[in-house]
Amino acid sequence: MERLPLFKALGDDTRYAIYLELARAAAPRSTAEVADALGLHPNTVRPHLERMREVGLLEVAVDSRGTVGRPQHLYELAGGAPSLGLEPPAYPTLAGLLANVAAACAPAADEVAGVGRHHGRHAGRARAGRGDCVDAVMAEMADMGFDPVGERAGAVTTVAFTRCPFRALAEAFPELVCELHRGVLEGMAEAGGATVASFATLADREPCRVALVSR
């Protein structure tokens, strides 16, 4: 997702309140349910929901089961929409537990990277036709929260990751998190017709970065 239109849409106080309500909801909500939760009229809420749907923040489904008259539109956050830190609190705990389990198994670095490469190849193919390999890497890393910044010099593009969304885990388990990151980048490069010339983790330098060579 392009971030600027999303954050512009969320710059309105009412839309931000609606977004938070849907982010916290356990199931998709109708216009009337959102309006009732926020103490607003449905006619006030409806255009805001549509605006957020237009920019890709929300998905809508039509539910006509058990209703009389016009079917209901049910809204929920779109896949890949920013979470605004509203992930279930159990997720960080689960991630830490899984990292401990994985570390106890002591997998080889290339085994870990191989898992990342599988994801990277899939992500690269999914973004095929929407720019070159560097564009795909920049978009995928932005969606994951790495805030990438690229600099081209001939056939080589260096992408620096100005934020690590998994920093705490990366510092505790660099042999897992950073190798997964490397694998994702290698898989995307493979799918997009490029090669990874070098990959520097947080242990090597900050911010971490990758050098991609276009074929």
Name the domain boundary from 59, 77, 95.
77
Same domain, 72 and 111: no
Peptide bond into 92 cis (omega under 30): no
Q: Domain with 192 in it: what CATH number? A: 3.90.1520.10
Same domain, 167 and 118: yes
Beta-strand runs (E) in the chain: 29-30, 58-63, 72-77, 148-153, 156-161, 194-200, 209-214
Distance, first Cα to last Cα, the chain: 26
In the prediction, which pLDDT does 131 show? 81
In the prediction, which pLDDT does 83 show? 66
Dihedral sign, CA of 127, 201, 167, 8?
A: negative
Q: Domain with 19 in it: what CATH number? A: 1.10.10.10
Same domain, 139 and 210: yes
Q: What pTM value is reported for the model? A: 0.64
* In a domain? residue 101: no
* In a domain? residue 184: yes
The C-alpha atoms of residue 51 and residue 58 are separated, in whole angstroms, by 9
In the prediction, which pLDDT does 2 show? 60
Name the domain boundary from 56, 77, 98.
77
* In a domain? residue 9: yes
* In a domain? residue 44: yes
From the first residue on, what is the mean pLDDT of each consecutive set of 10 residues in the chain (215 residues)? 73 89 84 92 94 90 65 85 65 87 95 96 89 91 87 94 90 95 96 94 86 90
Whether the Cβ atoms of residue 202 and residue 174 lie closer than 8 Å to each other: yes
Same domain, 119 and 201: yes
In the prediction, which pLDDT does 84 show? 67
Same domain, 40 and 132: no
* In a domain? residue 92: no
Same domain, 113 and 71: no
The C-alpha atoms of residue 140 and residue 131 are separated, in whole angstroms, by 12
Same domain, 59 and 115: no
Q: Which residues of 164-173 are buried (b: 16+ CB within 10 A; e: fewer)?
A: bebeebbeeb
The C-alpha atoms of residue 149 and residue 144 are separated, in whole angstroms, by 14
* In a domain? residue 89: no
Number of domains in the chain: 2
In the prediction, which pLDDT does 24 show? 78
Query: Which residues span the domain enclosing 202?
Result: 107-214
